[in-house]
Structure 1
């Protein structure tokens, strides 16, 4: 066995995994004859509120290949765990073990070449009920400009499109969520703050109009969720926040999209991935308020171009329907959040940060409302 030196800057027992680390480094470097291995283990400070993830760590260092040069290497270890009874069900949008199944199945190896995928070096089950996923560390940059997001939208369109043309067959696994937004909206309504009493006594006509629209959305929710199931089906990522999308370049590809964190992988309607891309990055503040309208137009156009480039020549209105509805349904969570924050502002009227967040969120909600109205107009024509 190679001589190994390890520096562990985490609370995890990486010292007890020397043989496993060596095996993963051999896969990472595609080198069997390692004679000297230097290892450094760092906690990357995971803070994203997904309760099925207990930690993400970067393991990196150098390896001296027998009778040859020294090579550097880096990998990511993601530790996932059971959380609640509902997340033990494969039908749940946040089924705790889905990403481990994604890597074990090899499903990512069959994705379109336009999408760069993470190599997996091993999925390890531990006696404490956690699962460790050892994977490639992909280095790239996060999108922050309209042009970069436009490129991503087109690539997502190409990715979704190959399942519409039949170039790729939709995978069939019982751990793939087939009604992602149904599960997500159910969970959102369960855990959203109860603001009905507060909202109904607000005298502001503008806000009352927003609350009335939200109540109408909830009344129609089941029918709208069912309509999404009638859209052409694609394999979807469903978690396209800025942190899960990396723009990478190498000598084979001048620009390529790499997607990470496949925990929410699903079979979804066309346009749903685009709704997540647009909606979540508005909510996270990545897309700025003065860019909301322009991003909506450009991202939709680019996604559609990606679908067409993949060879799909179907009805564009179906794409628009999926995009608008999946974006608007985010209000199931965000309207209660808005009125909860509004109540907080009454008790803390000088909180400028809260006031700014409310202003941004209100603008987002009116966009949701406009997109939902578009859906209501299209529904009789399409479904």
Structure 2
């Protein structure tokens, strides 16, 4: 696209041909089913229920689903089917706080917005909602879980500095409990989830409104699932900031529950907490990835591919994975107390 600035996005995902800010000041996103260069775990699908259905984001915007869910999204200005069959979305460019600049208060506001939406009754349903996202996504990441038992990998200075033995044990325990945690997520109350809520997909306007980006995975999920993803995924790709590890988990939990209350949700609040905690299993694959990257000394930034400081990255990833491991343990205990 001439005279356009390419915006950061997951270039591996086969459903995206590109995302640009054009000379017109608008955001242009082209969806495709024709890419053959993507890694297998990011292949697109033409099945509307599939987590990586290529046309879902166009369906979301064209159906005005965010508005129907009571959630903020960029305004759709045009949706065009291109001569090659791809679809171009033209979206308003949203100004505000984004990505790693979001504060704990900003992220808590996202959680409240999600709870207020997901606690509503009734919620819409569409044939192109994804089904089974959590298990299908998390178990198809190409992770070498044998590395969890590799003493040489854990003894690497970068790993030993940030992942003490108790954290290692907890992460191994989360992997051993993976099937149980995934099963629990399927047994929880259902809601409509964005399924990719993390700081890079959030903008908070100056007036406080929360705007969510990248609706490609949206569909059926468990109550608490989005909020449960939001917490650890606020750590993985940015330097660790003071207070985040100590205060973000509880701030998001309280805000999400307050949002459910504001919507008049009548479910058992413990089930919502269980959904947040058990959702940590989504990142079961990340520790093997960290071990493999440390062994290869290969550390690249999301979206740009630029090399990053591994010490800064692993300090933050250890903080996020520590939350995942703790939450997975809490989920197991809470499920037992609930008789699930």
TM-score, length basis structure 1: 0.73
| Equivalence for 2:324 | 368
Match among 319, 323, 340 for residue 276 of structure 2: 323
Q: Is the 8 A contact 2:123 2:192 kept in 1?
A: no
* 1:106 corresponds to 2:60: no
* 1:338 corresponds to 2:290: yes
| Equivalence for 2:303 | none
| Equivalence for 1:228 | 185
Deviations 1:58-85 (A, max 9, x none): 3455xxxxxxxxxxxx432111222468
TM-score, length basis structure 2: 0.81
| Equivalence for 2:26 | 75
Inter-partner Cα distance in structure 2 for 1:352 and 1:158: 37
* 1:53 corresponds to 2:7: no
Q: Is the 8 A contact 1:248 1:256 kept in 2?
A: yes
User: Tell me, what secondary structure is at the counterpart of 1:305?
Assistant: helix
Deviations 1:285-328 (A, max 9, x none): 266364212111111111111111111132221111111111x2
Aligned-residue offset at 1:214: 4.2
Q: Is the 8 A contact 1:289 1:363 kept in 2?
A: no
Q: Structure 1 residues 243, 272: closer, same or farther in 2, change over 3 A? A: same
Q: Is the 8 A contact 2:58 2:79 kept in 1?
A: yes
Q: Structure 1 residues 198, 176: closer, same or farther in 2, change over 3 A? A: closer
| Equivalence for 2:52 | 94
Q: Structure 1 residues 368, 313: closer, same or farther in 2, change over 3 A? A: same
Pair member with larger Rg: 1
**Gap regions ≥5 residues in structure 2:** 299-306
**Gap regions ≥5 residues in structure 1:** 1-9, 12-40, 62-73
* Count of residues in correspondence between the two structures: 314
The two structures, once aligned, show a CA RMSD in angstroms of 2.9
| Equivalence for 1:284 | 237
Any residues of structure 2 matched to 1:135-146 within 5 Å, and which? Answer: 135-142=91-98, 144-146=102-104
Runs (4+) of structure 1 exceeding 4 A deviation are 203-216
